[in-house]
Structure 1
Amino acid sequence: MLAPRHWVTTAEGSGIGDALVHHLFLTAVSVLITVVIAGPLGLYIGHTGRFRRVAIGASNAARALPTLGLLSALILLLGIGDVPPVVVLVVLGIPPLLAGAYAGLESLDRQTIDAARAVGMTEFQILRKVEIPLAAPLLLGGLRAAALQIVATVALASVFGLQSLGTFIIDGLAQADYVKMTAGAILVAALALLLDGVLAVVQRLVGPRGVSRGTDRHRTTARDGKKPVALTQDAH
């Protein structure tokens, strides 16, 4: 598996480094465009509650689209290049990110939002200073799901000759080189697991400390032996 011939693609003799760079490039561009489109839209839906049914229907429809068929149609229309796979990857990435955005805001306690309005905060201030920080773990969860969907699907672009880590799988299949196919599959899986691990760490770090750790802290036994008092919104 470590022999040099397994790590050279048929496209211009390029190797694993070039394939990895282009795979990451397509992933990064697609994730960035997905965030720009689905992020604000999901926050608007979650904050206002408007167009929720439309968003759910559109997301379900996007999930049902055949990825390879859509990519084939776009390549026939636009030609071979980076644009068709990026469009397909964005379409695949929008549903999980959109769902994470509006579900994260909808999960917040309405009393907290009403309290922010009562002290005179504007809607934008509520969104920026209250809702987004409190819903950050779920927002990152949606981004994590979208990124994993994208990084794994980039490999399909190699079916049409575009370079990615999937090139080793496609070339290995064409050459009946199953070692190369296995190596390519391992590379794609390893990259997805690495990305998932990084985003999982970020997801754990973005939550406000008082929200993510407060419950466990107040359940511990007090040093003076007295039963700790649970802090809730109604305990005044």
Structure 2
Amino acid sequence: MTPFEASRITEALCRRAPVIPVLVIEDAAQARPLAKALVAGGLPVLEVTLRTPAALEAIHEMSRVGGGTVGAGTLITPKDVAAAKAAGAQFGVSPGATATLVQAAADEEMPLLPGAATASEAMALAERGYTMQKFFPAEAIGGVAALKSLAGPLPHIRFCPTGGVTPANAGSYLALSNTLCVGGSWVAPAELVRRGDWAAITELARAAAALPGKPAEYVA
């Protein structure tokens, strides 16, 4: 899979809903009902971060939920990519990008949403063919103002900002011409997950899905 092909796929995923839930799952038994709740609320693209021992099993469980597309976040090494692919992840997300990681994703035929924090990083990824990127850590590196500044000189690059995105600022990000969706954890609060309050999570997802996203179409 070429970087261009990967970006076409991840761009299509980013257009499916205005928010991609960023999930840290401690108990894999909660993965499937959590995925069902989020999909029912209108958020079909899910990112499970590889930050817990349960993450790979959670990806496996979520991959069996109809209507959803599950990916693996916090990919750092080629081993992470291979393990995520084996668990059933349909795409990957990384906080940054190295040549080794990018090559591993290509070797595994895994669409990658690579992270960039500066204009130079974004340009280097776009030069390789990755025109759909994660902007991370969004709020810590300037937030909406920083991302808006990149739109002028780099109009061909599109982003999914993640890191500090909340219901209060998500709309400001989504209003930018170079932002297709945002990544956020607020749609699945840890306390609601622990209680198994899937109805409440579905309502949070429904509110997030109602944010003004971009049309579900490819852009060359």
Higher strand share: 2
Fold equivalence (TM over 0.5): no
Q: Which has the larger radius of gyration?
A: 1
TM-score under structure 2 normalisation? 0.25
Give the TM-score taking structure 1 as reference length.
0.24
